[in-house]
Structure formats: C-alpha cells, structure tokens
Amino acid sequence: MIDALPPLRDVIRTHDLRAKKSFGQNFLLDLNLTARIARAAGDLSGADVLEVGPGPGGLTRGLLAEGARRVLAIEKDPRCMAALAEIAVAYPERLLVIEGDALDVDALAHLTPPIKVVSNLPYNVGTELLIRWMTPKQWPPFWDSLTLMFQREVAERIVARPGSKGYGRLALMVQWRADARIVLSLPPEAFTPAPKVSSAVVHITSLRTPRFPANAATLERVVAAGFNQRRKMLRAALRGVHPQIEAMLVAAEIAPTARAEEVGLEAWCRLARLLDGGQA
Ligand code: SAM
C-alpha cells in the first residue's frame, strides 16, 4: 500500500468515474504499477511534477508517494475533481489540481524548477503535447525530463533509428534535443478499460544544447519535405527546398539517391546548415 487512501476501484465506484472514450480514458488501477512509472522518472524529491490527465489519480498518488515536492495535475473531466480533492487532502500543500484542457492551461505559471513531466497521456492529444514540449521558444526547455505513456507504436517512433520502420520526423525532432528510451512496456490488460493496442512508457531527458548545430525551423522544413515523400529519392523529394539541392546533398555527404529514412540526424543537420548558407 502506498498511501492510506481507498483502492482505486472503490474511488471509481464512489465517484461514478466510468471511463469515457471521448476523454481518451484508460485508467491504471494498480498502484504498484503507477509507483513503478513514477520511479521511472528518477528522483522526484526535489522536483515539481506536471501531470496531464490524472483521472482518478492512480499515477498522481504514485508521484506523491515517491516524494515529488509538488504535483500540478491538469484534468479536463470535471467528474474527477472530487476524487482528486481527496488526494490533495491526504498530501497537504503538495497537490494542485486545475480543471481544464492541458492544451490551453499555462502550467508554467504554477511550477518551480526543476520540473519533470510525468503522464499517462490521453492518446488523442499525446503526440501534440510531446511536439509542444520538444519545440518551445527557448532551449533548454522548462522541463528536465518527460516520462510519458504512449501507444507502443508511437513510443517506437520516438526512439527509432535510421533505417527502421518508425524512423521519421518525430524521432528526429526528439533525438535532436534529447535522449529518449523506452523504459516500460504494458499490455492492454494493464488498463481499465483495456485499449486495443499495447502501450509503452518513454523517458526523455533534455540536452542543454541540441546534439548538432542547426536552425530549428530549417531542420524541421527539410526533414518534413524529405519524409512527406519518403519513397522518393532525396534529390526528387527535396526539389522544392533549394534549386541546387543535388549539390547541397553531396556537400552534406548525403547520397542524392538516398531516401529520407536512410539519413541520420547528423547528416540532416549538416544539410540544414548548408541550406542556411553556412558550412557543412
Ligand atoms: N492518469 C490516469 C491513469 O493513469 O489512470 C488517467 C489516464 S487516461 C489515459 C487520460 C486522462 O486524461 C483522462 O483522465 C482524461 O480525462 C484526461 N484528458 C483527456 N484529454 C485531456 C486534455 N486535453 N487535458 C487534460 N486532461 C485530459
């Protein structure tokens, strides 16, 4: 037992929290599992934690029991508020719950560094939130690490290497500025109700500076152009990016006949620098 609060099945019954599809609700009811996810985020004792979508609060309880200094939990479903208020009482001054859409709430106003993000994300907004967290105006970002549940297929795309099936924009965007690895795999039955697919927790730690120099907008533009036509050779897929793209590719040490999925991060950064008029 990680705290003196009632088991999550009782919480769900008491507050009538039947999972709703529209909110992307698949709850974790095993507190040993939520404690494991909290521990996957590393030492929480000196950190503020941002949790998106606490639902009935299983992971929230794990985070608090594992010693998070404070947890800011943003939940869209008003039915969850009473259950979350009970957790706030059990952990005085350590849990702040905001009812709202995580895409709209200014979480930063309520957090003090160091900040870790730990969430069992609603699948419908998970990738959008990840992209936001990976592309802030300032780098390094407000967070030290992201420990996030995704559908297994999305988790694999985040950590994918060149030449593998899932390799693309998401892998490059994350790996340019962070280290990412899958730390836990979960079968559908770990959730209530069970989703159709397996899930995985990805742990992402931010680098202080991007792995290789490049302008973020240029890198994003050229990578997007390359992968939008991923079956084409790059000399064709990138035709619209620069009139002398073939020479640029050669200067960046990329075969003009290569496809986007064969090109590693360092080479994409070289190409982005050349497109900006710099040195490879
Ligand atoms: N963290 C809980 C757990 O592990 O059992 C619930 C996870 S469930 C997959 C996703 C949660 O996110 C739900 O509670 C849902 O209501 C909430 N949610 C969905 N969309 C949201 C949004 N845009 N902003 C904040 N919360 C959202």
Secondary structure of 69-111 as H, E, C letters:
CEEEEEECCHHHHHHHHHHHHHCCCCEEEEECCCCCCCHHHHC
Percentage of the chain beyond pLDDT 70 is: 100
Judge whether 104 and 43 are in contact, CB under 8 Å. Answer: no
- On whether 246 is known to bind a ligand per the annotation, the reply is no
Distance 177 CA to ligand 1 centre (A): 26
Q: Where are the beta strands (DSSP E) in 112-208?
A: 115-120, 145-151, 178-186, 191-192, 199-206
User: Do the domains spanning 8-206 and 216-275 agree at the CATH topology level?
Assistant: no
For 125, half-sphere exposure in the C-beta direction (CA atoms, 13 angstrom radius) is 19
Q: In the chain, what is the straight-line distance between the N-terminal and C-terminal CA atoms, in Å?
A: 56
Pocket test for ligand 1, best of 28, 75, 154 (most atoms within 8 A of CB): 75
Distance 27 CA to ligand 1 centre (A): 8
Q: Whose CA is nearest to atom 5 of ligand 1?
A: 27
User: What pLDDT does residue 279 have?
Assistant: 75
Q: Say how far apart CA 77 and CA 72 lie, in whole Å.
A: 15
Domain boundaries, the chain: 8-206, 216-275
For residue 191, which atom of ligand 1 is closest to its CA? 5
User: What pLDDT does residue 185 have?
Assistant: 98
User: How confident is residue 255, by pLDDT bands cut at 50, 70 and 90?
Assistant: very high
pTM of the model: 0.96
For residue 27, which atom of ligand 1 is closest to its CA? 5
User: What pLDDT does residue 217 have?
Assistant: 96
Q: Say how far apart CA 133 and CA 141 lie, in whole Å.
A: 8
Our CA angle for 207, 121, 124, nearest 5°, is 110
Domain 8-206 adopts which CATH fold? Answer: Rossmann fold (3.40.50)
Chain segment 8-61, per-residue pLDDT in tens: 999 999 999 999 999 999 999 999 999 999 999 999 999 999 999 999 999 999
| Residue 115 pLDDT exceeds 60 | yes
Per the prediction, the chain carries an average pLDDT of 96
**CA-to-CA dists, residue 251 to 214, 227, 266, 280, angstroms:** 16, 20, 13, 7
User: What pLDDT does residue 213 have?
Assistant: 97
Judge whether 32 and 61 are in contact, CB under 8 Å. Answer: no
For residue 101, which atom of ligand 1 is closest to its CA? 24
Pocket test for ligand 1, best of 8, 12, 20, 23 (most atoms within 8 A of CB): 23
Q: Say how far apart CA 39 and CA 44 lie, in whole Å.
A: 8
Domain 216-275 adopts which CATH fold? Answer: Helicase, Ruva Protein; domain 3 (1.10.8)
User: What pLDDT does residue 112 have?
Assistant: 97
User: What pLDDT does residue 1 have?
Assistant: 56
Distance of CA 142 to the CA centre of its chain: 14
Q: Whose CA is nearest to atom 21 of ligand 1?
A: 76
Distance 55 CA to ligand 1 centre (A): 5
For the chain, helix (H) and strand (E) counts, in that order, are 11, 9
Pocket test for ligand 1, best of 120, 127, 191 (most atoms within 8 A of CB): 120
